[in-house]
C-alpha cells in the first residue's frame, strides 16, 4: 500500500564563530524539507531567537527554532522501513551523575517527547576528511565516542566519503549509500564549498526528521560541516584541540537534537569561554534523547 507521506523535515543549523573572548555559536535554524539554510553569518553573541535569515530558494526558512513546516512530499523516495531496527535500544545511555534541567530540545513531539534518532538501530556516519587539519581527525572519533556514551546510540563508521556538503542534501541516496537512509555526513570543508561557513562561522550541524502524517517524528540523517581552514589556524594554540573538540561536540549536540540554552555553564550555550566539554544540563538532555522511541516504521 502506498502511504501518503506527510513529510516533515527540518535541518537545524548552528553556526559557530571564534570571538576574541572565546567561541561563540550561532543559533540553530530550522528550515523546511530536507534543506539546510544559511547560518547566522558572523554571529552572534549569546543565545537568542534567530531571525528568519535568507531562505534558500525552494526552501522556507523558519524561525525561531524549533518549528517546522509540514510539506506534502508524497512522491519522495524513501528506503524500505526498519533497516537494522531492533526491538530494544542497542545501548544504554550513561546516567548523568548530576541532575540538571539546563537543556532544550530542537524539536518535540505532541506528547512532549524529544525528537531524536531511534536508539534501536545504529547511526551510521561517514567522514569527508580530505581537508581535515593534521591531528584533527581523531577529534571527530573522540567526540562521537562521547556522544555515544551520553546517548547510548551506537555509531558505526562507514568509512570515508567524497560527498560534499550540500544545502539540499537528499536524505536517501540509493546510488551512493544503498537502500537505506543516507548516513550522517561529517565533512571537513571550506567556506567556498559550504557557503554557510562564510565569515566567522566555524561549524554547522543538524538533522533531518521524518514522520508519517501527524505521527511522531524521528531523525533519519544529518550533517555536520567543519571549517577546516579556520580550525587549522586555531588548532595549534595551546587549547586549540580542546576548542576544536568543543565545536565538534556542540555541533553533534545539535545533530542529536539539542538546542541552545541560556546557561553559560553548558556546552550548548551560544558561546563558550573554557572548553570543558559537556556539562550536566547537556548530558541530561542527551540522556533523554537516547530514550527516543524505536521506529520500525521508518
Least Cβ distance, residue 22 to Zn ion (angstroms):
14
Residue 163 or residue 251: which is nearer to Zn ion going by CB?
251
Options 21-29, 118-126, 186-194, 289-297: segment touching Zn ion (CB under 5 A): 21-29
Which residue has cell 570571538? 19
Residue 163 or residue 271: which is nearer to Zn ion going by CB?
271
For residue 151, count other CB atoms closer than 10 A to its CB: 30
Options 25-33, 63-71, 241-249, 275-283: segment touching Zn ion (CB under 5 A): 25-33
- 256 lies in the site for Zn ion, by CB under 5 A: no
First CA to last CA distance, the chain:
15
How far apart are the C-alpha atoms of 124 and 181, rounded to whole Å? 9
- Whether residue 126 contacts residue 281, with contact meaning beta carbons closer than 8 Å, is answered with no
How far apart are the C-alpha atoms of 120 and 90, rounded to whole Å? 5
Residue 143 or residue 211: which is nearer to Zn ion going by CB?
143
- 14 lies in the site for Zn ion, by CB under 5 A: yes
- Whether residue 266 contacts residue 102, with contact meaning beta carbons closer than 8 Å, is answered with yes
- 255 lies in the site for Zn ion, by CB under 5 A: no
Phi and psi, residue 183, nearest 5°: -70, 160
Interface mask toward Zn ion for 140-179; x: CB under 5 A? ----------------------------------------
According to DSSP, the β-strands at 123-128 and 10-13 are: unpaired
Choosing from 18, 25, 172, 188, the residue that interacts with Zn ion (CB under 5 A) is 25
Give the residue nearest to Zn ion (CB). 14
Residue 61 or residue 294: which is nearer to Zn ion going by CB?
61
Name the grid cell of 151.
546517548
Amino acid at each position: 500500500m502506498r502511504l501518503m507521506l506527510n513529510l516533515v523535515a527540518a535541518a537545524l543549523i548552528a553556526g559557530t564563530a571564534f570571538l576574541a573572548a572565546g567561541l561563540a555559536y550561532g543559533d540553530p535554524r530550522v528550515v523546511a524539507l530536507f534543506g539546510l539554510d544559511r547560518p547566522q553569518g558572523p554571529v552572534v553573541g549569546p543565545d537568542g531567537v534567530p531571525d528568519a535569515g535568507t531562505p534558500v530558494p525552494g526552501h522556507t526558512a523558519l524561525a525561531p527554532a524549533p518549528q517546522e513546516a509540514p510539506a506534502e512530499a508524497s512522491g519522495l523516495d524513501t528506503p524500505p522501513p526498519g533497516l537494522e531496527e531492533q526491538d530494544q535500544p542497542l545501548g544504554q545511555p550513561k546516567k548523568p551523575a548530576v541532575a540538571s534541567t539546563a537543556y532544550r530540545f530542537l524539536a518535540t513531539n505532541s506528547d512532549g517527547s524529544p525528537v531524536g534518532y531511534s536508539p534501536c538501530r545504529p547511526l551510521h556516519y561517514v567522514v569527508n576528511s580530505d581537508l581535515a587539519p593534521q591531528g584533527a581527525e581523531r577529534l571527530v572519533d573522540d567526540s562521537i565516542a562521547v556522544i555515544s556514551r551520553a546517548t547510548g546510540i551506537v555509531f558505526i563508521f562507514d568509512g570515508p566519503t567524497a560527498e560534499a556538503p550540500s544545502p539540499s542534501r537528499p536524505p536517501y541516496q540509493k546510488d551512493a549509500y544503498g537502500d537505506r537512509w543516507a548516513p550522517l555526513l561529517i565533512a571537513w570543508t571550506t567556506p567556498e564549498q559550504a557557503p554557510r561557513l562564510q565569515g566567522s562561522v566555524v561549524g554547522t550541524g543538524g538533522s533531518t526528521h521524518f514522520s508519517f502524517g501527524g505521527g511522531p517524528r524521528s531523525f533519519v540523517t544529518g550533517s555536520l560541516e567543519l571549517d577546516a581552514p579556520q580550525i587549522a589556524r586555531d588548532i595549534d594554540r595551546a587549547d586549540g584541540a580542546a576548542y576544536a573538540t568543543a565545536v565538534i561536540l556542540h555541533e553533534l549536540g545539535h545533530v542529536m537534537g539539542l538546542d541552545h540554552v541560556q546557561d553559560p555553564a553548558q556546552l550548548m550555550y551560544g558561546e563558550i569561554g573554557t572548553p570543558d566539554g559537556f556539562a550536566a544540563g547537556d548530558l541530561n538532555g542527551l540522556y533523554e534523547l537516547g530514550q527516543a522511541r524505536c521506529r520500525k516504521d521508518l
